Amino acid sequence: MELTVTDLAVARGGVPVLEGVSFTVMAGEALVLRGPNGCGKTTLLRTVAGLQPALAGQIGLEREAMAYAGHSDGIKAVLSVRENLQFWADVFATGSIEPALEAFDLNGLKDRPAGSLSAGQKRRLGLARMVVTGRPVWVLDEPTVSLDVSAVEMFAGAVRTHLRGGGLALMATHIDLGLDEARVLDVRPFKAKAPALDDFDGAFL
Amino acid sequence: MIALLTRDLRLAVRAGGGFGLGLAFFLIVVVLVPFGVGPQSALLAKIASGILWLGSLLACLLSLDRIFALDWEDGSLDLLATAPVPLEAAVSIKALAHWLTTGLPLVVAAPVFGMLLNLPGPGYGPVVLSLLLGTPALSVIGTFGAALTVGIKRGGLLLSLLVLPLYVPTLIFGAEVARRGADQMDYSTPMLLLAGISCGAIALLPFASAAVLRVNLR
């Protein structure tokens, strides 16, 4: 399993933000995207995850291989931690949520309504969802926001377990996770040159 | 898919889920109409079936923006779009959950509310039948409208403006079934047309809803 992206160009709101992005991530490897705010990291990740079409270029894997975690966690406040996680386990047909609860130390919280969790605990629940998807490619957008030091450690451990199991990860983050398997890709050189709008209607489609 | 349905139903009946909101709104509309019309039971009996249809249509409209807006806000719509469930199926399930929490209670409550409006005796069966056949179309069309306006802040008014004209055929044939039934006339033609509209909407609109949802998620 490897994720190969060739000559990818992505646009946000009809304006091209990145072009000519090429990289390969092998199984057991993580690629960390770096770059200033607004340079297109989120757009690139959403495109790779199949949430929006690419302007040009190829993504080597089907979207069925990807599990995506964005800025918001998709947590229902009135459902308990266990119900939230079990829902995604049922949707992805993976069954057990115990390893995910274990990996993010959520066992003590599992019967609490998710609305009563702190921001960091919610984030942990959101990341635990990645474990229950059982998909080989994790696409993570700023996964460590609102996590404290020990929770970041927990997350790094979960990523490490995932990589060791033959998975791969693509993430945008600014902090060092201490992962030996991680390579860093700076997206600044891929900044799109001409914000040409040749297809006006395209912005609305 | 069953997981999505049970989750949506569970969310609807928990705090702030809005279950029963449509029904309470329906009740209030039905109670207010006799006040507006005045003490004329003959007139009320004549317009009862139409009021029941209009009331259930508005009650249905009330809860439409919840179908996708909440999932959009907390990000679960993005996650659902990347899940192994096809978006067309997810949309259909969401419409079904909306019908179970809004449409079905309206159908069940319609006879009771008919009594409040002095609905003539033979009218009860056709009213319930027409609502049973028509409300699925209301939910499916409404889901399409909700998909169109997802991501727009406070898009509820726009949603109403988009959806109400699309409700016209359902309303015409549904109210016609109820009216003919109350007047003890043959109502099989409008009933078949109503059933046709529902079947067509259920068969075709999920694809349109999924397509606009994909566009809106970009």
Looking at residue A100, its pLDDT comes to 83
Domains of chain A, first to last: 2-74+134-204 (3.40.50.300)
Looking at residue A201, its pLDDT comes to 61
CB contact under 8 A, B14 and A78: yes
CB contact under 8 A, B14 and A79: yes
Q: Which amino acid makes up residue B86?
A: P
Q: Rounded to an integer, what distance in angstroms lies between the CA atom of residue B48 and that of residue B46?
A: 6
CB contact under 8 A, A74 and B82: no
- Find residues 107-166 of chain A whose CB sits inside 8 Å of chain B: 129
Out of A76, A87, A129, name the one closest to residue B74 (CB): A76
Q: Give the domain range for residue B129.
A: 2-217
Out of B14, B71, B218, name the one closest to residue A52 (CB): B218
Instruction: Tell me the shortest Cα–Cα distance from B18 to chain A, in angstroms.
Output: 13
Looking at residue A1, its pLDDT comes to 81
Out of A64, A71, A129, name the one closest to residue B84 (CB): A64
Contacts of B85 in chain A (CB under 8 A): 91
Residues 6+ apart with CB under 8 A from A180: none
Residue A197 has pLDDT above 60, yes or no: no
Instruction: Tell me the shortest Cα–Cα distance from A38 to chain B, in angstroms.
Output: 16
Structure tokens belonging to residue B132: 């049973």
CB contact under 8 A, B82 and A68: yes
In this prediction, the residues of chain B whose per-residue pLDDT falls under 50 are none
CB contact under 8 A, A76 and B76: yes
CB contact under 8 A, B75 and A68: no
Q: Rounded to an integer, what distance in angstroms lies between the CA atom of residue B118 and that of residue B16?
A: 33
Contacts of B81 in chain A (CB under 8 A): 51
Residue A167 has pLDDT above 90, yes or no: no
Structure confidence by residue, pLDDT tens digits, A68-115: 888 888 888 888 888 888 888 888 888 788 888 888 888 888 888 888
Among B6, B71, B214, B218, which would you mutate to test the A interface (most chain A Cβ atoms within 10 Å of its Cβ)? Answer: B218
Contacts of A142 in chain B (CB under 8 A): none
A59 in contact with B, Cβ within 8 Å: no
- Find residues 83-102 of chain A whose CB sits inside 8 Å of chain B: 83, 87-88, 90-93
Q: Rounded to an integer, what distance in angstroms lies between the CA atom of residue B180 and that of residue B194?
A: 14
Residue appearing with tokens 């929770």: A151
Instruction: Tell me the shortest Cα–Cα distance from B78 to chain A, in angstroms.
Output: 7
Out of A66, A83, A90, name the one closest to residue B82 (CB): A66
Structure confidence by residue, pLDDT tens digits, A27-54: 888 888 888 888 888 889 999 888 888 8
Residue A143 has pLDDT above 90, yes or no: no
Contacts of B75 in chain A (CB under 8 A): 70-74
Chains A, B: CB contacts within 8 A come to 71
CB contact under 8 A, B74 and A71: no
Structure tokens belonging to residue A150: 């020990």
ipTM passes above 0.90: no
Residue A10 has pLDDT above 70, yes or no: yes
- Find residues 79-98 of chain B whose CB sits inside 8 Å of chain A: 79-85
Q: Rounded to an integer, what distance in angstroms lies between the CA atom of residue A47 and that of residue A45?
A: 5
CB contact under 8 A, B14 and A49: no
Burial A168-199 (b: 16+ CB within 10 A, else e): bbbbbbeeebebebbeebebeebebeeeeeee
Structure confidence by residue, pLDDT tens digits, B44-90: 888 888 999 999 999 999 888 888 888 888 888 888 888 888 899 99
Tell me, letter by letter, the H, E, C secondary structure of chain A: CEEEEEEEEEEECCEEEEEEEEEEEECCCEEEEECCCCCCHHHHHHHHCCCCCCCEEEECCCHHHEEEECCCCCCCCCCEHHHHHHHHHHHCCCCCCHHHHHHCCCHHHCCCEHHHCCHHHHHHHHHHHHHHHCCCEEEEECCCCCCCHHHHHHHHHHHHHHHHCCCEEEEECCCCCCCCCEEEEECHHHECCCCCCCCCHHHHC
Q: Per the structure, how many domains does chain B have?
A: 1
